[in-house]
């Protein structure tokens, strides 16, 4: 009876309806056409649910469908609500929002300008050994239909389906652009100048690439609304492009008026700068890069220690900070979910060009924490719904150097990372350095970085104390910390080191520990639960330039793998659903 009464209300409000079965298909007599809707009440008496036709049949109705194939539709909707102008539009027109049987959401509106069904955002997902794009957000427009409340599994959360208002074409464009900012299925066509080891390829992997791209975009009038979200010149509302969201280091333009960039296409830093500063002359930009990397760039890497006054003078010139030239923030490579007010956000935690420390007393499960960090970086995506790895393009290498454990235990640690990441990731590698002396360990890591540092974005050194001949020696502490600072800057990577805490306090052991804590970007402490030896607590003891992330607990499951308790907590309500 409820379906029939709802059908009558929807029909009266100008909506074309369909009776539907449990499979979401139209439940009408075989051979009948559902185009234009179905008004015979007989089928609604026995139907499982009810659907609405999009398009002209329902007064130019259009639906934005947030799918839940990745299990995070609620988080996506929350993030969507924070996009420029979105919440204002939803509130202004009192647009209906409903949840779906799969855990997704529908946002409904009418507009004089609508189109057919469109895929707005996708993500890559591995299925049967192959990576393919899976739709994250799409529309149901002309020629389509969708299921609605009171169909079992569907629930109206906000406003009224019988009162779906018309929005302007401009407001519709703002909503759709916000959806496209979540797309991670982007086509990037490399230029010949970006082939392996060519100037464009070297530049894209360099520390200069992202900052120079940002400077070029801003010089041409592009505006960064917030980190990674951009608006084209001449536009005062909405989103036009993303940087580093669709893929690390990639500028993804989805505006049809974003010239010289084509719509729905991704661009590397080399391409962005060549288009904006060199009028699309890729060869000229590549020639300048060739000259740069054949002189000062390569020389900078080779020079280990200055030997005379002239070299010191060159270093002073290089080290001088010109305040008239903006310096971009370093790329973020790891975020951790934290509660801000009543909403969860992903706090910036680790960036390229810095190092961090994981500290804790013996058997606190420090290695299990670094396993989760390594897994998130290896996947370069969310892990356990709390960590988010975001390594830039060309810096996807992830490495573990184990200095403490036996060969078997080091293998188990590396296999744990591999398992947590889901396997089949060729960008992760591990090395067992236990048998070597401290200086040899340093030289081994240095040799690795000389060969692969330009492609490596994240490194864990489990047992940093084993790189020093004595942890209480100030000279040794200075030597090891200086190496960390040099490695992270020269190779633009991030290194997380693991070090023990003193038995009687919470400070890292020795002069080496003190020096590391003073220079670290972030210090994470791991404390074993005194009542349950399968659990440990992670706290942010220190972080530079931003508020601390929330503490969280993790436990070791029956498979011997770590899992975060935080990830299973109930999510707060979406901003859309507060009113």
Q: Are both 350 and 472 inside the same structural domain?
A: yes
Q: Are both 282 and 359 inside the same structural domain?
A: no
The answer for residues whose C-beta is within 8 angstroms of residue 67's C-beta and 6 or more apart is 73, 102, 104, 135, 136, 137, 138
pLDDT digits (tens, 9 = 90+) for 264-319: 899 999 999 999 999 999 999 998 888 776 633 333 333 345 457 777 777 677 76
CA distance linking residue 80 with residue 239, whole number of Å: 11
Q: Are both 210 and 277 inside the same structural domain?
A: yes
Q: Are both 264 and 156 inside the same structural domain?
A: no
User: Domain holding 110: CATH number?
Assistant: 3.30.2250
Q: Are both 239 and 288 inside the same structural domain?
A: yes
Q: Is 545 inside any structural domain?
A: yes
Q: Are both 293 and 346 inside the same structural domain?
A: no
Q: Are both 304 and 353 inside the same structural domain?
A: no
Q: Is 154 inside any structural domain?
A: yes
Of 151, 180, 209, the last residue of a domain is 180
pTM over 0.75: no
CB atoms within 10 A of CB 23: 8
Domain of 354?
Answer: 332-575
Cβ–Cβ < 8 Å for 91, 74: no
End-to-end alpha carbon distance in the chain: 29
Cβ–Cβ < 8 Å for 167, 110: yes
Q: Are both 449 and 379 inside the same structural domain?
A: yes
Tokens read off for 163: 């009162």
- Walk along the chain (579 residues) in steps of 10 and give the mean pLDDT of each run: 88 93 88 82 89 94 94 91 91 95 95 92 80 90 93 94 94 93 89 88 84 90 90 90 89 91 92 92 89 49 52 73 71 85 80 93 90 92 86 91 87 90 84 89 92 93 90 85 93 94 71 87 90 87 86 87 66 44
* Nearest in space to 566 (alpha carbons), one of 546, 528, 527, 539: 539
CA distance linking residue 391 with residue 66, whole number of Å: 26
3-state secondary structure 65-91: EECCCCCCHHHHHHHHHCCCCHHHHHH
Q: Is 357 inside any structural domain?
A: yes
Q: Is 126 inside any structural domain?
A: yes
Please give the tally of structural domains in the chain: 3
Tokens read off for 77: 């909707």
CA distance linking residue 412 with residue 418, whole number of Å: 10
Q: Is 185 inside any structural domain?
A: no
* Nearest in space to 352 (alpha carbons), one of 249, 444, 436, 261: 249
pLDDT digits (tens, 9 = 90+) for 316-338: 777 677 777 766 678 899 988 88
Q: Is 326 inside any structural domain?
A: no
Query: Is the bond preceding residue 260 a cis peptide, omega within 30 degrees?
Result: yes
The answer for residues whose C-beta is within 8 angstroms of residue 381's C-beta and 6 or more apart is 388, 389
Q: Is 60 inside any structural domain?
A: yes
Of 149, 180, 211, the last residue of a domain is 180
Q: Are both 223 and 309 inside the same structural domain?
A: yes
Q: Are both 571 and 494 inside the same structural domain?
A: yes
CA distance linking residue 239 with residue 258, whole number of Å: 11
Q: Is 557 inside any structural domain?
A: yes
Of 180, 215, 237, the last residue of a domain is 180
User: Domain holding 396: CATH number?
Assistant: 3.40.50.300
Q: Are both 378 and 484 inside the same structural domain?
A: yes
Tokens read off for 197: 């080891």
According to the model, what pLDDT value does residue 545 have?
81
Q: Are both 142 and 282 inside the same structural domain?
A: no
According to the model, what pLDDT value does residue 507 have?
67
* Nearest in space to 123 (alpha carbons), one of 67, 204, 178: 67
């Amino acid at each position: 009876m409820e379906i029939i009464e709802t059908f009558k209300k929807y029909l009266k409000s100008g909506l074309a309806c369909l009776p539907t079965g449990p499979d979401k298909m139209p439940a009408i007599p075989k051979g009948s056409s559902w185009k234009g809707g179905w008004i015979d009440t007989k089928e609604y008496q026995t139907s499982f649910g009810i659907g609405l036709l999009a398009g002209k049949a329902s007064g130019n109705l259009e639906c934005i469908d947030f799918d839940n194939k990745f299990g995070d539709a609620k988080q996506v909707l929350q993030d969507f609500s924070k996009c420029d102008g979105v919440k204002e539009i939803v509130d202004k027109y009192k647009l209906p929002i409903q949840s779906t049987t799969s855990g997704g959401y529908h946002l409904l509106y009418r507009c004089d300008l609508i189109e057919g069904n469109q895929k707005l955002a996708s993500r890559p997902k591995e299925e049967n050994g192959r990576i393919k794009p899976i739709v994250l957000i799409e529309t149901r427009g002309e020629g389509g239909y969708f299921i609605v409340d009171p169909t079992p599994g569907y629930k109206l959360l906000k406003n009224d389906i019988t009162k779906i208002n018309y929005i302007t074409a401009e407001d519709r464009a703002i909503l759709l652009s916000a959806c496209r900012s979540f797309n991670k299925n982007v086509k990037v066509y490399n230029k010949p100048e970006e082939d392996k080891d060519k100037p464009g390829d070297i530049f894209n992997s360099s520390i200069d690439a992202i900052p120079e791209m940002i400077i070029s975009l801003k010089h041409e009038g592009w505006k960064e609304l917030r980190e990674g979200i951009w608006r084209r010149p001449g536009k005062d509302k909405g989103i036009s492009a993303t940087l580093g969201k669709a893929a690390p280091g990639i500028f993804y333009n989805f505006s049809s008026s974003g010239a010289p960039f084509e719509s729905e296409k991704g661009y590397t830093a080399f391409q962005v700068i060549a288009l904006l500063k060199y009028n699309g002359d890729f060869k000229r930009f590549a020639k300048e890069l060739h000259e740069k990397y054949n002189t000062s760039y390569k020389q900078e890497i080779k020079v280990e220690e200055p030997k005379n006054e002239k070299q010191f003078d060159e270093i002073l010139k290089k080290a001088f900070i010109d305040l008239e030239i903006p310096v971009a923030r370093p790329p973020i490579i790891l975020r951790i979910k934290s509660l801000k007010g009543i909403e969860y956000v992903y706090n910036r935690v680790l960036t390229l060009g810095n190092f961090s420390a994981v500290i804790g007393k013996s058997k606190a499960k420090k290695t299990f924490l670094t396993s989760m960090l390594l897994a998130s970086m290896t996947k370069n995506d969310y892990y356990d719904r709390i960590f988010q790895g975001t390594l830039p393009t060309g810096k996807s290498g992830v490495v573990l150097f184990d200095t403490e454990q036996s060969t078997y235990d080091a293998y188990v640690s590396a296999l744990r990372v591999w398992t947590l990441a889901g396997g089949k990731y060729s960008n992760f590698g591990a090395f067992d350095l236990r048998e070597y002396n401290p200086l040899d360990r340093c030289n081994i890591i240095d040799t690795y970085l000389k060969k692969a540092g330009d492609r490596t974005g994240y490194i864990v050194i489990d047992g940093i104390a084993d790189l020093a001949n004595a942890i209480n020696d100030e000279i040794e502490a200075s030597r090891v910390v200086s190496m960390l600072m040099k490695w992270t800057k020269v190779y633009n990577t991030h290194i997380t080191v693991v070090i023990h805490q003193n038995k009687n306090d919470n400070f890292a052991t020795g002069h080496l520990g003190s020096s590391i804590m003073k220079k670290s970007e972030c210090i994470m402490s791991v404390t074993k639960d005194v009542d349950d030896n399968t659990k440990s607590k992670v706290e942010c003891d220190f972080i530079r330039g931003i508020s601390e992330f929330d503490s969280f607990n993790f436990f070791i499951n029956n498979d011997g793998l770590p899992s975060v308790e935080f990830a299973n907590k109930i999510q707060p309500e979406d901003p859309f659903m507060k009113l």
